[in-house]
Structure 1
Amino acid sequence: MGSKYPKSLRISLPFWALLLEAAFILVFCFFTSYETPSEKLEFLKRYPAAFQDINVMAVLGLGFLKASLRRFTWSSVVFNLFTLALGVQWAIILDGFLFSFTSRKIAISIHRIILGTMSTMSVLISSGATLGKVNLIQLIVMTMLEVTAFQGTKKLTQDFLKMEEHQSMMQIHVFGAYFGVAVAWCLSEPGLSTAKDKERGAITSSLFTTLGTFFLWIFWPTFNSALIKLPGEKETAVYNTYYALAVSAVVAMSFSAASHSDGKISMTHVHRATLAGGVAVGVTTTLIKSPWIAMVLGLLAGMIAIGGAKCLPGCLNQIIGLHDTCEVHSTFGLPGLLGGLTYILLMIQQASWTTPSMVSFQILISAGCLSLSMAMGLAGGLLTGLILSLNLWKAPPAVKYFDDQAFWEFPHLAAGF
C-alpha cells in the first residue's frame, strides 16, 4: 500500500541543491584563495577558542533547541544542519564581496568562516518560527534570501552608522526573530488547526530541547566575545555574558513557578528564558563595566522572555493571526530588543560628559542601528514569506505540518508516528 505522503521533492530538491552547489564551487574556484602562511597563527588560536564553540552552538544547540515537537524531531535537527551547511557557503561569498573584495580574490580565513557561521545563525533562529510548516526547497529559498538581507543590513550599519563588527553582528537576534515572525505570519493558514495535535511535545523531545538549551548556555560567552579584538574587552564580554546567563537561568525556573497557579515549573519557560540573558547582553557586553549591570539585564531578560511565552500566544499572536512554532519572538526577539534599548542608554551615559549635540548623535546612531535591524528583518521576512507562499515550492499542506513522515523514510512506520 502506497504512502499518503507523495515523493514531491524527488526531482526538485536535488535539482535546486546541486545547482546552487555547482554555482558555489565555481565562485570559490575563480574568486577565492586561502590566507597567506604568515596568518596561520590566527587559525591555531581561534579554531579551538571560537570556531568549534560556535559550530557546537549552531549544529547541536540550535538544532536540538527546535526538537520539541513529538513528531518532528528528525527534521528539526537535520534540516538545521542542512540550512547551516548551505548558508555558510553563501554567507562567506557575500561577506567577501561586500567587505573585503581586493585583487579580485576573497581571502579565506578562519575569521571569515566564523563570520559566515554566525551570519547563517540568523536563519537558524528564524526557522524556529516556521518549524514544521516548510519543506527543504522553501528552506533553501529562505536561507539564500535571509543571509543576503542580513549581510546587507550589516553593510549598512557598518558603512553608514559606523558600528563596529561586533555590534552589527550582535543585532542577529532582533533581525532573525522578526524575520522569522514575518515569514511565519505570511505562511499561517486557516487550516493550521487540523495539525494542532501533532504540534504537541513529548517527554523525549522536551529533553532534546533541554539538551540544546544547555549547549547554547555553555558556549554563549564564546559567541558574544568571538568578534571582539581587544583582550581586555573580550575578557569583560565573557564575564558579563556568564553573569547574565546565570541570573536568567535562575529566573527561568523561579519566575516560571511564580507565574503558575499551582507553583509548577514549565519546561517551555525554561527553554525560552534560560538563554535570555545571553541574548540581551550581547550588543552591550563591552559597555558594561560592572557585573551587577549584566545581572540585572539577565534578570529582566528572563522575566520578559517568560512573560512573552505566557502572554503572546494567547493575545497578540491570535489577534494578528501569527503562528510562531518555537516562539522565537519570546526567546530571541524581546530579549534582543531589551539589549538594544540598554545599549542606547549606556551609549547616552558614555556621551553624557560631552556636549548635548554629542548625546543626541549617540541616541540617533544607537536607535538607528536597532531600528534598522528590526525593520530589515520585518521587511525581508515579509518579502520572503510572500515568495514562499507561492505554489512553486511544493509546500506541504496544513494537514502534513509537524510530521517527519512527510519527508523521511520510515521502514516499518514505527508505533507512535
Structure 2
Amino acid sequence: LTSFNTRLRYQLPISLALFQSVLLVVFILYVDYDDQSNNPSVSNATTTTKENQLYGTFPFFKDINVMLFIGLGLMLSFLKFYGFGGLAFNFLIANFSIQWSLVVQGFFYYNQDGRISLGIKNLVDAEFAAVTAMISAGAFLGRVSPVQLLLLCLMEIPLFVMNNWIITKYFHIIDIGGTVSIHVFSCYFGLGVARIFYHPELSLGHPKEKTTPNSDLMSLVGTVFLWIFWPSFNSVAATVGNAQHRAVLNTFLALSASTLTTFALSSLLNKKGQISLVHLQNATLAGGVAVAITADMIIKPAGAFGLGCLAAIACILGFQYSSPFLARRLKIQDQCGIHNLHGLPGIIGTLGSIIFILSGLVDSSNLKHNGELFHDNSFHDNTVLKVWGTGQTWDARDQALHQAAAFGVTFGVSLLGGLITGLLLKVPCVVHPSHEFYFDDKPFFQELLTVPPCLI
C-alpha cells in the first residue's frame, strides 16, 4: 500500500512536469507566431484584418472546443463510479495531446527555416489530432491510470500524424472531415490497445460497471453538445464558400437522419418498444462520422440523408451483435463501443465516398486537399484529375481506389500501433488500477477517498 501511494503521488506530476519542461524549451527555441498573428511593426506581414484567418476560423475553433471538452467529457461520464474520471481525464489528455500535437505537427508540416510558425490553423489541426487519443481511450475507459493515458497520447499522436501524411501525400485521400484519418484511425488504435488489456473475468461483468439515471442523463447531455457542434467539426477544413456551406448542410442532414433512425430502430428492437439510452448516446452521432469524408462534396441532400440512416443502423446493430462478437471471439472489450460509433460508420462513409466519386458527384472545390489536387470541373465522363508538379493523372476509378487503399493503410497502421502501445502501457513500472478498482475513480481524486486506494 505504501509503495503504491508513492508511485501514485510521484508518477503523474513528474511525468507532466518533465513533459511541460521539454515543451517549454522547444517553444523557446523553435516556436513563434505566424505572420497573421505577429506584430505588424516587426513583421513583413501584409495581411489585412479582414483577411486574417482568425475571423473565419475562430468561431469553428470555439465550437470544436465545446465538443472536445464538454461534449465528449460528459459523454464519457456514464459510469456510476467513474463520472469524475471520465470528465477530468478527458480534460487531461485533451490538453496533453494538443500541446504534443502542436510540436509534432509543427516539425512535420509547418517547419520553416528551422522554426515553427504558430497560428489558429495549427490549433485546429492539433485538436483534430487530439481527438484521436480521446476517442481511443474510450475503448478501455475506467481500466487504466492517468499515467497510462499520457503514454497512450505520447505514442498515438506521432503515429496519427505519420498516417495522415501517408494517406494524403501518397494516396491523395479526399477526407475533409476525417472519417478515415480521425475516426477509423482512433477506433482501431483503441481496439488494438483494448485487445492487449483483455481480462477474461470482465466477460462475466464487473460489480462497478453500471450506470445510474443521473450518469446516463449527463452522458446524453454530452451527446447533444456533440450533435449541435458537429457541423463545425466537419466543415472547418473545407474551402471557404460553397464547399464549406455544403459541409454544414450535409452534416446536419446526416445527423438529423441518424437521430430519427435511432429512435425508430431502437424502439423496434425492444420487445416492449422501449428506447435504449446507449443507442441515443451513440447512434444519433453516427451520421456525423459517416458523412465527414464526403461532407463538402455535391452528394445531394438525399446522399447525406441516406448516409445518416445507414450509419445509425450500423451503430445500433453493432451494439446488438458486433460488440458481443468482439468480446467473445476476438477478446476485445470495447468499453464505450467506439467500434460501433466510429469504426462501422467510418466503413460506411468510406464506401459512400467511393460510390459518390464513381458517380461523378465531386467538384473541383473539394479536391484541393493541402493544395495538391486540382481538376477543371468534375469526375463526370472520367474527367482527369491531376497532381501539381508530379505529372500524375488519374480518373474517378483511380481516385476511388485511392480512397479504399487509404482506408486499408489506416486500418493496418492504427491496429498495429494500438497493439504495440498496449504492450507498452502494461509495463509493470507504470502505475495501473487493480481489478477491484476498475470503473472507479476514487483512488485518483482526493474528495472521493472514502476507502484506502488499493492499486498495484
Q: TM-score, normalised by structure 1?
A: 0.94
Shift of 1:229: 1.9
Q: 2:71 aligns with which of 43, 61, 66?
A: 61
User: In the aligned structure 2, how far is the partner of 1:5 from the partner of 1:64?
Assistant: 29
Shift of 1:190: 2.6
Q: In the alignment, is the contact (CA less than 8 A) between 1:240 and 1:288 conserved in 2?
A: no
1:291 equivalent in alignment to 2:291: no
Matches of residues 360-399 of structure 1 in structure 2 within 5 Å?
A: 360-399=397-436
Q: In the alignment, is the contact (CA less than 8 A) between 1:278 and 1:298 conserved in 2?
A: yes
| Structure 1 stretch displaced more, 235-244 or 328-337 | 328-337
1:13 corresponds in structure 2 to 12
Change beyond 3 A, Cα 1:157–1:313: closer
Higher RCO (C-alpha 8 Å, min separation 6): 1
2:53 corresponds in structure 1 to 42
**1:325-368: CA deviation from partner (whole Å, max 9, x where unpaired):** 11111111111111011111112222462289734422321111
User: In the aligned structure 2, how far is the partner of 1:7 from the partner of 1:193?
Assistant: 32
Matched letter for residue 233 of structure 1: A
**1:102-154: CA deviation from partner (whole Å, max 9, x where unpaired):** 11111110011011011100111111101001101100110011111110111
2:32 is paired with a residue of what secondary structure? strand
Identity of aligned residues (%): 30
Matches of residues 267-286 of structure 1 in structure 2 within 5 Å?
A: 267-286=277-296
Change beyond 3 A, Cα 1:349–1:164: closer
User: In the aligned structure 2, how far is the partner of 1:229 from the partner of 1:101?
Assistant: 23
Matched letter for residue 373 of structure 1: T
1:177 corresponds in structure 2 to 187
Q: 2:136 aligns with which of 102, 126, 138?
A: 126
User: In the aligned structure 2, how far is the partner of 1:330 from the partner of 1:348?
Assistant: 27
Change beyond 3 A, Cα 1:167–1:275: closer
Q: 2:342 aligns with which of 329, 332, 337?
A: 332
2:22 corresponds in structure 1 to 23
Matches of residues 314-333 of structure 1 in structure 2 within 5 Å?
A: 314-333=324-343
Matched letter for residue 42 of structure 1: Q
1:286 is paired with a residue of what secondary structure? coil
Runs of 4+ in 1 over 6 A off after TM superposition: 2-5
Q: Between Structure 1 and Structure 2, whose CA radius of gyration is higher?
A: 2
1:258 is paired with a residue of what secondary structure? helix
1:33 is paired with a residue of what secondary structure? strand
1:157 equivalent in alignment to 2:139: no
Change beyond 3 A, Cα 1:412–1:164: closer
Q: 2:122 aligns with which of 112, 122, 136?
A: 112
Shift of 1:410: 3.1
Change beyond 3 A, Cα 1:106–1:271: same
Shift of 1:280: 0.4
User: In the aligned structure 1, how far is the partner of 2:345 from the partner of 2:316?
Assistant: 10
2:80 is paired with a residue of what secondary structure? coil
Shift of 1:161: 1.6
1:353 corresponds in structure 2 to 381
State the number of aligned residues.
412
Change beyond 3 A, Cα 1:206–1:167: closer
Shift of 1:255: 0.6
User: In the aligned structure 2, how far is the partner of 1:413 from the partner of 1:195?
Assistant: 24
Matched letter for residue 109 of structure 2: F
Q: TM-score, normalised by structure 2?
A: 0.86
Matched letter for residue 382 of structure 1: L
User: In the aligned structure 2, how far is the partner of 1:58 from the partner of 1:412?
Assistant: 28
Q: In the alignment, is the contact (CA less than 8 A) between 1:54 and 1:223 conserved in 2?
A: yes
Shift of 1:320: 1.4
1:85 equivalent in alignment to 2:110: no
1:405 corresponds in structure 2 to 442
Q: In the alignment, is the contact (CA less than 8 A) between 1:272 and 1:309 conserved in 2?
A: no
Q: In the alignment, is the contact (CA less than 8 A) between 1:153 and 1:376 conserved in 2?
A: yes
1:147 corresponds in structure 2 to 157
2:267 is paired with a residue of what secondary structure? helix
Shift of 1:162: 2.5
Q: In the alignment, is the contact (CA less than 8 A) between 1:280 and 1:297 conserved in 2?
A: yes
Q: CA RMSD in A?
A: 2.1
2:7 is paired with a residue of what secondary structure? coil
